[in-house]
Structure 1
């Protein structure tokens, strides 16, 4: 009985290892060339195996891309979730630092998300859904700050969530292009600790400024 189980586990374990190696190779290639710039043959060559052998695990490039995106999400889920009463500032910083420690995955996200603006790209729907989830989570976070009177309601929580995502992705892109040109942690911390709390007085300040302008003599 034990011998039979061992025989079954051997090939299965080898297959799982091959699949994981293929995913790692694809992450490396796709992050540099994009999805369209690399072929299954390129991945097979990197693994020093035949194309037929690779297609035994991934029949086409779309199935390999799906596995790559699933792997990125799996690693992301390993992060501790933001608890209801937790200040999310440090969690956002932690995620940014993690992304910097995994430059290939960060570059993969940047390259593929840009490519996927094409409606025909196989990852198009994936990134639409991913950004929708991120905006929804961010909006809930900012709404909680507004409800707790820690943030003014001069800007909609949905807008703040979109701005935070844009800031994070934009800083990551600048860091990937030239790592020494921008301090992602410092810039995110400044936005979260300075810019956002300042919004609590932004609406009132805008009103005061408008009244002041209205009182100016006409030329």
Structure 2
């Protein structure tokens, strides 16, 4: 008979993982609410309810914490996006579904909008991350429009690279408008519907209507 037991080391590891996740959640909210530069590691530690040295055990610098927050967002969004592409077979529809998911996660949208604006400065620790991200996203979106162009579905006179830039600009711009309209009397913009309309305007109407 084999007796199974949970070692103190295993229990400590599980607690450490749980604390790390709490730190990432708190940092994500604070970075989105007040910005990266305004937030201190002590602020994050206080939000979680741990000591400053306790937080440093998991993340020795604020830059390391920011990198982990961004990686976590990419992992979650990347998995969901790939699943949408696989199920729908449509890259542009997957983008619209991503916009729809974002509408249910205002903290994530605010984090991205705040950090991407701050990171335009070359001195910002996330500058290289966002530059690389835009290169990657533009390449993926351009490839999607090139495939549509080869099928005769891209509007005449419009090249795939320009269509991709319009799509990425639309996604990012709609997020800012959505955040700014939190208290608007007519409600927030439907980001998914708006991005679908934008994409439709870039494609040839194959219905003949």
**TM-score (ref. length: structure 1):** 0.84
Instruction: Give the CA deviation at 1:80.
Output: 4.3
Mapped partners of 2:140, 2:132: distance in 1: 12
Residues 1:169 and 2:172 aligned together: yes
Aligned to 1:104: 107
Confirm or deny: 8 A CA contact 2:24 2:68 kept in the other structure. yes
Match of 2:123 in 1: 120
Q: Which residue of 1 aligns with 2:194?
A: 187
2:41 maps to 40
For CA contacts below 8 A with separation 6 or more, give which structure has more relative contact order.
Answer: 2
Deviates more, 1:152-161 or 1:29-38: 152-161
- Shift of the alpha carbon at 1:84? 11
Find the aligned partners of 1:188 and 1:96 in 2 and give their Cα distance: 8
Instruction: Specify the alignment match of 2:77 in structure 1.
Output: 76
Q: Structure 1 CA distance, aligned partners of 2:103 and 2:114?
A: 15
| Structure 1 segments unaligned to the other structure (5+ residues) | 201-219
Q: CA–CA distance in 1 between the matches of 2:7 and 2:191?
A: 49
RMSD: 2.0
**Structure 2 Cα separation of the partners of residues 199 and 133 of structure 1:** 29
> Normalised by the size of structure 2, how large is the TM-score?
0.88
What CA distance in whole angstroms lies between the structure 2 residues aligned with 1:183 and 1:150?
Answer: 25
* Per-residue deviation, residues 53-86 of structure 1 (Å, max 9, x unmatched): 1111111111111110111011112214225992
Answer with 1 or 2: which has the greater Rg: 1
